[in-house]
Structure formats: structure tokens, C-alpha cells
Structure 1
Amino acid sequence: MTKELRALLQKLDNAKQEVRSLLAEDKTQEAKDKMDEVRSLQAKVDLQRELEETEARGLGVKELKDDGTVEERDMQELEKEYTGIVLRGIRRRPISEEMRSVIREYEKRAVMNEGNTNPVIPDGDVGILVPQDIQTQINTLMREWNDLSQYVTVENVSALSGTRVLETDANMTPFADVDEYGEIQETDNPKFTSISYKVKSRAGYLPLTNELLADTDANLIGYVTNWIARKAAHTRNVHILALLQTLTPKELADLKAINKVLNVDLDPAISRSAILLTNQDGYDWLDNQVDGMGRPILSDDITQPGRKLFKGRPIAVVSNRNLPSANDKAPLFIGNLKQFMVLFNRRFFELASTREGGDAWRRNTTEMRTIMRDDYVQWDAAAAVYGQLDITPTP
């Protein structure tokens, strides 16, 4: 950003503050007259910014130094500045025109390949992307909260809707025998299926107390990040489990029934890469099974201490609260979930805050809203089996 643009942005911000002061004093006509200056300055800012961006693109760089030379702006420095603005917005503090320029620059880089448009940020509001460093923390925490999306195929998308063509697991014929100098015949073609997605917005809000907002940036980031991670992981788990439960359930009376699913019901390629997903009741039943020599059926996963394997397949466990048993039947999903479903993910989380809307005004708090966007689509129904494990207590 050049000196000229910085000076214009400062003048524009000062002029806007004067308009607000005049309106507060009920000097409507003076405020109208001052708005003419605001519009003129805004036009100059837009032209100056366009000029600098045009010059920068022509030179193949991102930014112009104050002395007129050019340089590639350091993304880490930009992200640090952007994070500070986001926290300022959450605290409902005014955002100047210069800060908006930082927001526009950061989001242009962050969503360059996403096809998004940059939102307009009014003073004291924040309806912008969560910074990338915080996004990374959120994704890390989601794994700790047992985010089941790690077991399914996740595809990041830029469009709100679309289709994908995927190859199906169809029967194929072998290559035909060909005699010397014989004519090669046409063979069968791969079979494809088209699946559609339509990204949906999923959102929630969190009341933030004045005490928390007055705390350090690190504590505020930690609190908000943890909350988003828990809510996002739980949201994904609910939709993943709901799609799995659309399969027709199959009674599993004992270990032999589970073995048959792996040996017969699933294709050998699917079976080799399968996982077992169950709740606490199902895991407890499996963990207490022994062979004829009294040895546990489950083995330890040496690559991940604490995780168990069933015939070399990892076991994922969901709490009974989120995946309950019913009528002495524990759910047990067996298969390759990456082949069973695709999670179409619009990559970014988005934040906004208010202290006037909702219950914030009555409670003297600030409400922070988070939006995530995704869709969950079945790909290959034959890649998983929905089993109901008989956990009836033995007398």
C-alpha cells in the first residue's frame, strides 16, 4: 500500500467520523454536506486502489512499498494483522477503511481458488473468514473430538452445488484371446455414476461475556477455537451417522456373523480396507470376546496406542450419547466409509458478531455466529454394512 492510498484512507475515515458526530448532534444538513466529501474521497480511494493493483499485476507482484518499489507481501505478517482485525471485530470495535483493505487483501489470497466474493464489513462488525492459522487449530481439535470425517472421503469445493462423475464397481469381462494377426475386438467400458451435491449452511451462535472479551487475545482465540471445533465435529458426526443409518440393518448375533460380513458381504478389496464403527456398548462387547484359548479377540494397534483392531481392521468408537443402542442392539458399521460416502466441504468457517441483535442487547453481551457449509452424499452403498450387534447380557 502506497503513502498516497494510506493518506486517502485516513482522510476517508476522519470524514466518516465527522458524519457520525454530526448525526449524533442532530445536525442533519451538515451531515448531508459532509457525506458529499465522503463520497468524493471514497471514489478517490477506489481509483487509487485500482491503479495500484493494476500496476502491481503488471509487475507480477502483490504489493507496492511506500517508497514506490515493489515486494511480495509476507503472508504470515498479513495473517497476523488480519487476525488482530478479526478479534477487534468480535469485540465490536470500529474497523477503519485501512483495516478493511487488509481484510480484502487477505481474503483475496485465501479464497483465490475458491470462487468467493469478499463481503462488505460495516464498522464494528465482522462477517469474515476465520484466519488460516485458527482454521488449522480448529481442524486439529476436531480430530481430538473424534471427528468422523477422517474416515470418509472429503472433497473441498468452491461452488455451492455441482456434480461429480465417479467410477462404479461393476462386473467386467476379461480381455479376449487374439490369434496372431487376428483382429482385436472392442472390450467393455468402465461404468460411471453421477452424484450431485448442494452445499448447505450450518450455523450457531455463542454469547460472549464482557469479561471474556476483555481477556487476552490468546485466551479469546483459545475459547472460540475450542467451541467451533466441538460444534463442527459434532455437526459432521450427526450427518455422517444419519447417512450410515439409511442402510438396511442386518442382525449380528455373534463373532461368526461379523466374520461373514467381512468374508462374504463385502467385496474383498473393500473388506481389506474396512473399519468397524460402533458405540461404547458395541466396543465393550467386542473387547470382552475371547478365543478358545481365552485370549482377547481384539489386538492392539502398535501404530496408535490405545486403539484396537479386529482382524487387522481398526475400530472407531462413538459415545452412546451420540449413537445409542436400542433393545439390546448396538450399531456396528463395517466397511470402507471412504467409498461409501463423500463429504463435500466448502472449506472455510465464517464469523460474525453483534451486540444489538438476538439476546445480546438484553444480556449486555456480544453474540458470535459461526457458519460452516457442507453436504453429505452416498457414493457406493455396497461399501458398508449396517449391523445390529446383539449385546443381550448372558445369564
Structure 2
Amino acid sequence: MSKELREMLARLDSMKGEVRSLLSEDKADEAEKRMNDVRALQKKIEVQKSLENEDRGGLGLGGEQQLGGGNGIESREDAELENEYRQVFLKGLRRKNISSEERSIITEYEKRAVMHEGGATGQADGDSSLIVPQDIQTRIQEVTRQFVDLSQYVTVENVTALSGSRVIEADAEFTPFPVVEEYAEIQLIDNPKFRPLSYKVVKRGGILPLTNELLADSDQNVIRYVSQWIGKKSVATRNSLVLNQLNTLTKTAMADFDAVRTAINVTLDPAIALSSLILTNQDGFNYLDGLKDANGRYLLQDDITRPGGKMIKGKQVVVVNNRLLASDTVGGTAPIVVGNLKELIVLFSRKFYELASTKEGGDAFKRDTTDLRALMRDDIKTWDSKAAVFGNLDITPTV
């Protein structure tokens, strides 16, 4: 949609408002005259739409000229709209009034759907119903990748409802098809067994005081500051969810690394073992880092697919801070999880951030700040409890 068309639509909304106002004042004749202007503008809008469709005909996907590559398929109009919407979003964040023309930009941006991960809810003075712009969403994701985000190792399912259920097949032994003789009747076979898995996303959030001096600064500084805060908080939140879910597993004592090998080779299903990883804390990693084979070579190897990453026996090693996944210092054990976490855990996510701001509520007025409230909605469930083994690995030095 071109800027001209958006301006026409904004004028149309304004004119319809005038008609409603005249009707409420019992000025039917004046309202009818103004309606003639509305009808004329509607015809002009239809012609403008047809003209723009003709101009875009045959140029790329969906009749729009494509720019760039990869997953970012967008037209020149999309790029222009993204830039305009970002300016409106920042006005809303700064709690400035939004004009009728800017509201048409909001409406068009929401229709375009580049399916955004974010949402924002503002105040009554202008910054209402603003979703987080796609480029800011990208910045938030870049921040999350700077940390160990455990949600990348589990299955994340984006949902649109606040609650729901899934049906999963129960693990069972499969019997082969029986032999069928010629002209013999084909017998019934055992039916698959299913069980329901329900979810209900939970709202979590926090408040970030933004100094009004920061909001008066450049757009880039505001975006960077907010993106950093949301990115760090979202990683901390999801890591907590994943680790809490892992701690619901039954703990298994592991005297040495041979016990870990047994978990991979015997306890786990072979299909699960092939795609499994090893998750541990700093103490567990230090133990693994000192393991050697019969020839004195270290078992821990560099993962050429991940710069700085490590592997052991072909299994990716993921390390988290001791503060997040604590060792048992009395028992001399470190936690170690072996398995396929994507088969073990599913994280149901609304996949957006809701943002609202105030200068009067809470302590904002006393501090001369604008308080930004960020909310996210997730739920986490165990999908297949047999897809991983949680061990307490003995890391006491051997004499």
C-alpha cells in the first residue's frame, strides 16, 4: 500500500467520524451531504487500489517486487512501511499522541503480517495496540543468541491460544503385520494408543524504568537499551522454565563416565541416542574436559560445526553456569542430562512481548521516569520422559 493510499484511508476514517458526529447532533441533511463526499472518496480509493495492483502485476511473489534474499521476502513498499511503523512505535513508547494518519500505518502494518513475534499494549493517550516492529524483534533475538538459551535445545511450539491440548502417541512395542494367505480374511491389528497433553500459557513479566533523558536520546539508543533488557530477561525466563522441567526427572546416580556411556548405549532408545546431547554445569564440564582414552588423548573434542563448541563421543556438550544448575558439593556430584531434549520437552509460547508504558503510575512520577512493562506468555511440558536421563555424576578426584 502506497503512502497516498494510506493518506486517503486516513481521510476516509476522519470523514466517517464527521458524519457520525453530525448524526449525533441531529443534523441529518449536513450528514447526508458529507456522506456524498465519503462515497466519492471511497470510489477514488478503489481506483487507487486497482492502479497499484496493476503497477505490481507480475513482479515477484504475490505481485510484489522482491528485495533481498533468504527468508526476508519484502517489497519496497514493505520496507517503507516497516520504517514508518518503527517511527510510530517509538512515538508510542515515548507516550506521544498518534495522529489518524499514523493509525492507518498501524492498521496496514498489522495486516501485512510478516508474522511478528511481538505485541505491545499502550495507554489511552495514543500508543495503543502497537506490535513490536520486525527489526526490533530481530535485535532481541540477536541478544538472546549471545547467551546460552536452553530453549533452542527443546521443542518450541508457537501457539495462538492461551490454552489448548495436543494428542501424542504413547510409547509401545509394535507387532509386525501377520501373514495373509490368498483369499484369507485380513485380521484386525492392535490400535495405536494416545494420551492428551494440555497446556495453559502463564504470563510473566517485569518493569524497566527508562529515564526521560534516555527517551529523549536517539532512536537507536532507545531500541538498543530496550532490546538488550528484553533479550536478557527472556533468556533467563526460558532457561528457568527448562531447568525446572528437567529437575522433575528421576535422578540416577552415576559413579563415573562409564555410567554415562551405559545411559547412552542401553537406557536410551537407539533412535534417541543418535540425536542426543550432554547438558551439564561448569563442574561437570571440568570433569569431562579431563577425561582421556587409553592412549592419553582427551575425549573432549572441538565441534567444527560450532566455533568454540565441544563434543564427546559425537555428542554435543552444552554447559550452563553453576548458579543455574548447581552441583551437590556435599555428595561430590554434578548434574548431567543425556538425551534428546527436543523429544523430552515442549515449550508452548505465544511468542510475543507485550509492552506498555506509563509516566504517572507506580514510582515513575517520583523518579521522573517512564516505566516500561514487558510481558511474555509461555508454558512448558514434558513430552516423552524416556527421551533423556538425568544423572548425578560423581566428580570427586580419584586417588
| TM-score when normalising by structure 1 | 0.81
Match status 1:292 vs 2:271 = no
Q: Is the 8 A contact 2:202 2:378 kept in 1?
A: yes
1:177-216 equivalence runs, <5 A: 177-216=179-218
Residues of 2 paired with 1:117 and 1:293: CA distance? 57
- Alignment identity in percent? 51
Corresponding residue of 1:245: 247
Which string of whole-angstrom CA distances, capped at 9 and with x for unpartnered residues, describes residues 35-70 of structure 1?
Answer: 979xx99xx99x969x969x76xx9xxx84999999
Give yes or no for the alignment of 1:77 onto 2:80. Answer: yes
Q: Which amino acid aligns with 1:107?
A: E
Distance of aligned partners of 1:2 and 1:229 in 2 relative to their CA distance in 1, 3 Å threshold: closer
1:333 aligns with 2:337: yes
SS in 1 for 2:375: strand
Matched residue type, 1:363: R
- Distance in 2, Cα, partners of 1:161 & 1:2: 36
Deviation at 1:342, TM superposition (A): 0.8
CA contact (8 A) 1:206 1:369 kept: yes
Task: Tell me whether 158-167 or 72-81 shows the greater mean CA deviation.
Answer: 72-81
Distance apart, 1:127 and its partner CA: 5.1
- Residues 13, 97 of structure 1: 8 Å contact kept: no
**Shift in Å at residue 120 of structure 1?**
7.6
Show the counterpart of 1:90.
Answer: 93
Aligned counterpart, 1:168? 170
Amino acid at match of 1:389: L
State the distance in 1 between where 2:358 and 2:206 align. Answer: 13
Task: Tell whether the 8 Å contact from 1:3 to 1:66 is kept in structure 2 after alignment.
Answer: no
Contact 2:201-2:378 at 8 Å conserved across structures: yes
Give, in whole Å, the separation in 1 of the partners of 2:11 and 2:272. Answer: 63
Distance 1:70 1:122 in 2: 39
In structure 1, how many angstroms separate the alpha carbons of the residues matched to 2:264 and 2:124? 57
How many angstroms apart in 1 are the aligned matches of 2:119 and 2:133?
16
Which residue of the partner structure matches residue 355 of structure 1? 359
Q: Report 1:112-127 matches (<5 A).
A: 122-126=124-128
1:221 has 2:236 as partner: no
- 1:13–1:96 Cα contact (<8 Å) kept: no
Is residue 290–residue 298 contact of structure 2 (8 Å, CA) maintained in 1?
A: yes
> Contact 2:120 / 2:356 at 8 angstroms: preserved in 1?
no
What does the per-residue CA deviation read over 1:214-251, in whole Å, with 9 as the maximum and x for residues that have no partner?
22111211111111111101100000110010011111
1: CA distance, partners of 2:200 / 2:249: 21
The aligned runs of 1:1-395 (5 Å cut-off) are 1=5, 5-7=9-11, 64=49, 74-110=77-113, 122-126=124-128, 128-326=130-328, 327=330, 328-394=332-398
| Letter paired with 1:364 | D
1:186 CA displacement: 2.0
- Which amino acid in the other structure matches residue 334 of structure 1? V
Question: Offset of 1:290 from its aligned partner?
Answer: 1.0
- Once the two structures are superposed, residues 236-269 of structure 1 have per-residue CA deviations (whole angstroms, 9 ceiling, x without a partner) of 0000110010011111110111011101111111
- Do the aligned partners of residues 76 and 48 (structure 1) sit closer, same or farther apart at CA in structure 2, a change above 3 Å counting? farther
Tell me if structure 1 keeps the 8 A contact 2:241–2:380.
yes
Q: Are the counterparts in 2 of residues 199 and 374 from structure 1 also a CA contact under 8 Å?
A: yes
Unaligned runs of 5+ in 2: 57-63, 65-74
Q: Offset of 1:377 from its aligned partner?
A: 1.1
Tell me by how many angstroms 1:188 deviates: 2.0
CA distance in 1, matches of 2:120, 2:279: 40
Number of residue-to-residue matches in the alignment: 364
Displacement, 1:276? 0.7
Residues 82-111 of structure 1: CA distance to partner in whole angstroms, max 9, x if unpaired?
111111111222222222222222223338
Gap change, CA 1:393 and 1:360, over 3 Å in 2? farther
Structure 1: which 5+ residue stretches go unaligned?
A: 15-32
Counterpart-to-counterpart distance in 1, 2:203 and 2:132: 16
CA contact (8 A) 2:265 2:273 kept: yes
Superposition deviation, residue 301 in structure 1: 1.1
- Would you say the 8 A contact 2:119–2:352 is kept in 1? no
